Structure 1
Amino acid sequence: MAPQNGEKPSSAPAPCTKINRVLLLLRLLAFSATAAATIVMALNKQTKTFVVATIGTTSIKATLTAKFNDTPANVFFVVANGLGSLHNLLMILLDIFGRKLDYKGFRLPGIAILDVLNVVLVSAGVNAAAFMADLAKHGNSHARWDKICDRFGKFCDHGGGALISSFIGLFLMLLICAISIIKLLKPNATTSHINISFP
């Protein structure tokens, strides 16, 4: 119907599709999981006092502290999960407030590429930390690497919790990545896409 009195028709915003709501929920869950992994590992620290020798009736004690930053793999784990959390937070804000920020239809391809890079980064961080966690729990007699989880149980428990949270976040980000690629390959009326025309 033609507008009356020269008024322009109002363009109603496109309704949020079901796949967009699912994607937003997955991003919120992935953000929560990676943020929890980052915080738990970054605050992971335990101090214990051990008797290292006994001279007569006098015990010689040593106080040792296990910290996450004693191992570069754990530091990388914190950085990778922190960046993964930041990525998901920015994508959530972009999904809510930035639907109009689409330069020549490159929003969906850009998001898909960033999602893949995010999966690679978090996967590298959590697998590096998992390798060090296995050494901490079982040791390696060939490399003369002693296990520490029998002495620093709380430290290892917190590290294990951070690893579980990060693996959950990684699984969710794999789902996000798959959905982002599906949206890129099968755009609908509510999502912008690149129109390629041939002469």
Structure 2
Amino acid sequence: MDIEHGKKPPAIAAAELCTLKDKLVGLWPVLLRAAAVLATAVAAVVMGLNRQSYTAVVAIVGTRPLTQTFTAKFNHTPAFVYFVIANGVASLYNLVVLLTRRCLVQGRAQHLVVHRMDMVIMVLLATGAATAASMAELGKNGNLHTRWNPICNKFGSFCNRGGVSLVSSFIGVALMLALNLLSSATTSPRAVVAGQ
């Protein structure tokens, strides 16, 4: 009777709803990974191109000022170099997984390998962002105990771009954490038994 009036039986509607739910759940990892590629690539590129120079008068000889140009680059600090490498590796890894996801995630064993690599990449990103954040804090506030002066009052654009890069990297860490939590939920023994 329902079919004659254009209505679907409840069993067919429920099956279509489950199919739609499975497609949406399957779409989340792709969206999270694509966002992680974008966030980590932005972090790596912005920090990798981060450079600023300024010229200051260092002495006056007679009436003539002597000037010197000071330059701040990301590669002057090993923490920032590690940060760029970590974000570059994470971006490249996520891009490769996105492009080869149909080939890679076929069985449970391949899914576990990707899950474990996701954890490694998340740790790499988190350590890179943390080391860069500690150096950024030192550059912004200095250290009075060791008489290290802050540099952000002289290299404002350098510090601002570094801040944008750090925020982008921490967003990448959060996205990788979300991917790991989602992957853990789908690879847990209960989820595997329920899916069989």
Task: State TM-score, norm by structure 2.
Answer: 0.83
Question: C-alpha separation between the residues in 2 aligned to 1:100 and 1:124?
Answer: 27
SS of corresponding position for 2:60: strand
Shift of 1:144: 2.2
From 52, 74, 87, the equivalent of 2:93 is 87
Amino acid at match of 2:185: I
From 87, 106, 116, the equivalent of 2:119 is 116
Cα pair 2:50 2:162 within 8 Å, conserved: yes
From 57, 72, 76, the equivalent of 1:66 is 72
Shift of 1:61: 0.3
Runs of 4+ in 1 over 3 A off after TM superposition: 99-102
Shift of 1:146: 1.5
Question: C-alpha separation between the residues in 1 aligned to 2:138 and 2:39?
Answer: 24
Aligned residue in 2 for 1:52: 58
Mapping of residues 1-199 of structure 1, within 5 Å: 17-95=23-101, 97-98=102-103, 102=107, 105-185=108-188, 186-187=191-192, 189=195
Cα pair 2:97 2:104 within 8 Å, conserved: no
Percent identity between matched residues is: 41
Amino acid at match of 2:48: A
- For the structure 1 residues 100 and 170, does the alpha-carbon distance in structure 2 shift closer, same or farther, using more than 3 Å as the test? closer
Deviates more, 1:80-89 or 1:15-24: 15-24
Cα pair 2:104 2:111 within 8 Å, conserved: no
Shift of 1:101: 5.1
Question: C-alpha separation between the residues in 2 aligned to 1:180 and 1:94?
Answer: 17
Say how many residue pairs are matched: 174
SS of corresponding position for 2:175: helix
Shift of 1:125: 0.1
Structure with more helix by fraction: 2
CA RMSD of aligned residues (A): 1.8
For structure 2, the residue ranges without an aligned partner over 5 or more in a row are: 1-18
Task: State TM-score, norm by structure 1.
Answer: 0.82
Cα deviations by residue, 1:38-57 (Å, 9 ceiling, x for unpaired): 00000000111111112231
Amino acid at match of 2:121: N
Deviates more, 1:83-92 or 1:150-159: 83-92
For structure 1, the residue ranges without an aligned partner over 5 or more in a row are: 1-13, 194-199
Cα deviations by residue, 1:134-174 (Å, 9 ceiling, x for unpaired): 00000012122111100011111110000010011111110
SS of corresponding position for 1:17: helix
- For the structure 1 residues 150 and 100, does the alpha-carbon distance in structure 2 shift closer, same or farther, using more than 3 Å as the test? closer
